Amino acid sequence: MVMMVNNTTELFASLTPEEIALSNELQQIIIQEIETSGGMIKFSRYMELALYYPRLGYYSNPLFKFGAKGDFITAPLISNVFGYLLSRQISELFAFGTAANILEFGAGNGKLAVDILSSLGDSIDHYYIIELSANLIAWQKETIANKVPHLVDKVRWLSDIPDGFNGVILANEVLDAQPCELISYRDGLAYGLGVAYTNSKLVYQDYPLNNQDIVNTNSVPQLDYHDYVTEVHIANQLFMRTLANKLATGAILLIDYGVSENEYYHPHKARGTLRGFFRQHVIDDVLIYPGLMDITCSVNWSMIARTAIDNDLDFIGYTNQGGFLINCGLDDVMRELQVQLPEGQYLQISNQVNKLISHNEMGELFKVCGFSKNLPQDSWCGFTNFDRSYAL
């Protein structure tokens, strides 16, 4: 269970000398860039450095991250039923004209790839992975080689999505880790929030919101708020445009935690959704110990859908994770497992699945959104019921 933390002193007291040294080295790199940039960098740049700087960033360094002993748990790590049910949807897309290729962004430790490969086997022509971290690529290769050695030849790692891609694009918990911009509102006026270095610590600093790469995207919401901080998602928009431009025929399946735009910019969300994750705890101050915690914010699903449609993708559906998995045949799968497995093993899987679909756990927090290009729109079992698209 993820816990909220107000006082981080005790939590970070257990850091090893190696962890502290890694974070200090990364912080010095961040400070140097702040100094050479006139005393401040945009928050998106800080987030990019903290998460992805080679060798030191959170997703680039070798420190353990996933699972109960790491910083967070993802759906594929909870149960392989998740990957099996996704495979049912993917198999249906193959049958309706998508080439038998899968491209997964940010494959973590490779668990989801293994579960999908195990489920679909030789019906897959190619399984491509785009991963920024050399450490995670090595981990993925080891996991896949150990779990599905007979399918290793189907897997390839790419640095970018190829032009004219034909297949299924999958991104599970990718959007939330793409760098965002922070915006602060005072008396109805919007200001950018950057990162500076003052009094021997990293701090937030306002700057005039005349930065063209923000203004030109029309992403900054017009909010008549005071003392309100939120995020805008330039990188998410660019990501969706790239997918739309590179996809020739096929489908895009996005899974992540997030809400509609009306919920995202609600007056009660005065501090936004930005947070850090460290050893199953939520951290409010993401400027401390860079490189040691995940930094994330919720997805604005309205913006994702709007960007996709504006770039000629067909919007297929939007629902919560629980509804999507049920639509993909979860009830049938659980009935089959109850017959096949000893009671104790079945109950263990049932408890795992409950975490995936429960409204009190991942079932409501996580949403699923689907898009396609040059495919029949009835090729999606995952969106047959529990539609939430009206909320967007």
3: pLDDT confidence band, cut at 50, 70 and 90? very low
69: pLDDT confidence band, cut at 50, 70 and 90? low
Cβ contacts of 72 within 8 Å, gap of 6 or more: 2, 65, 66, 277, 280, 294
Number of residues that this document lists for the chain = 392
Examine the pLDDT at 281 and tell me if it is beyond 60: yes
Cβ contacts of 254 within 8 Å, gap of 6 or more: 171, 174, 175, 304, 368, 369, 370, 371
Task: Give pLDDT, residue 91.
Answer: 97
The closest alpha carbon to 233, from 313, 312, 300, belongs to 300
Q: Rounded CA gap, 273 and 65, in Å?
A: 21
Summarised one tens digit per residue, pLDDT across range 330-375 is 999 999 999 999 999 999 999 999 999 999 999 999 999 999 999 9
Structure tokens at 202: 């990293």
Architecture (CATH level 2) of domain 1-382: 3-Layer(aba) Sandwich (3.40)
Q: Rounded CA gap, 229 and 185, in Å?
A: 6
Residue 81 contacts residue 349 (beta carbons within 8 Å)? yes
pTM recorded for the entire structure: 0.94
Summarised one tens digit per residue, pLDDT across range 233-247 is 999 999 999 999 999
Torsion-angle region of 370 (φ positive above 0: left; ψ -120 to 50: alpha; else: beta)? beta
Examine the pLDDT at 70 and tell me if it is beyond 70: no
Task: Give pLDDT, residue 218.
Answer: 55
